[in-house]
Amino acid sequence: MRFASLGSGSAGNALLVERGSTCLMLDCGFGLRETATRLQRLERSPGCITGILVTHEHGDHVGGVFRFARKYAVPVWLTHGTWVATGESHVGLDLRIIDSHHALSIGELEVQPFPVPHDAHEPVQYVFSGAIRRLGVLTDAGEVTPHIREMLSACDGLVLECNHDARMLAQSIYPASLKRRIASRYGHLENSVAAELLGSIDCSRLQHLVAAHLSERNNLPELVTAAIAGVLGCAEAWIGVARSDTGFGWRCLN
């Protein structure tokens, strides 16, 4: 199993998870042409995509999903709340409603959704499994719940939101209402909260850790890697950081 990112941040998000002939895209916040360009960078084309999984209805995650699905005739898996919130019709789409607690099999991958606290209608994140390897993904969550800890423990790979630094957010030019939303329990994970999560779960199998969904205005990669390295006791250079423009390249779970 391997994974890569087309981009991660407020401008758009998309992650690829691949095993054998199955290649799933998690979210798609880019237009058709931009998505194709970013896929090409990863030596993939739209025709390689088996289907799309959606986390929630915010535009940076779902903005390109339905146009892509229509054009390339791929199924889309999403919660009922997310579907209702998008207002998207079934016409021309293969939409498959999922339960946020029930696993599903898609080709050569097992996919386990799990609910997260975020300011959306029925948001989920996912754990992908192939053979004995597990990839956990957590972005767009305002706080860490016991269930999140359970889901992400003993993963071989993690893509983990490190959205903002508390001090930078407090000192930013954002309106007070936006600062409260970001820092709330339905907002986004702060660096130290993400680090605390890692310190509270089993990371003994971790081969890859990539920090994702960094705020371009309220965070810095060096703040993220310092916070995480201090908890894991690893070199800062070992920690990957997803970029908004290029995401990150393929990483294999062996």
Global pTM value: 0.96
Please tell me the total count of domains within the chain.
Answer: 1
Neighbours of 87 (CB within 10 A): 7
Coil vs helix vs strand at 29: coil
- Does residue 240 fall inside a structural domain? yes
Question: Is 61 a domain residue?
Answer: yes
131 CA to centre of own chain:
21
Task: Classify residue 10 as exposed, middle or buried by CB count within 10 Å of its CB (0-12, 13-18, 19+).
Answer: middle
Q: Are strands 14-19 and 2-7 parallel, antiparallel or unpaired?
A: antiparallel
| Residue 8 in this model has a pLDDT that exceeds 90 | yes
Cα-based torsion angle of the residue sequence 109, 32, 38, 123 in order, rounded to the nearest 10 degrees:
-50
Q: Is residue 91 part of a domain?
A: yes
- Token output for 63: 């903005």
Model pLDDT, residue 153: 98
Q: Which domain holds residue 216?
A: 2-247
Structural domain contains residue 252: no
pLDDT at 166: 97
Residue 90: what pLDDT?
A: 76
DSSP string, 181-240: HHHSTTS--BHHHHHHHHHHS--TT-SEEEEE---SSS--HHHHHHHHHHHHT--GGGSE
Whether 89 shows a pLDDT value over 80: the answer reads no
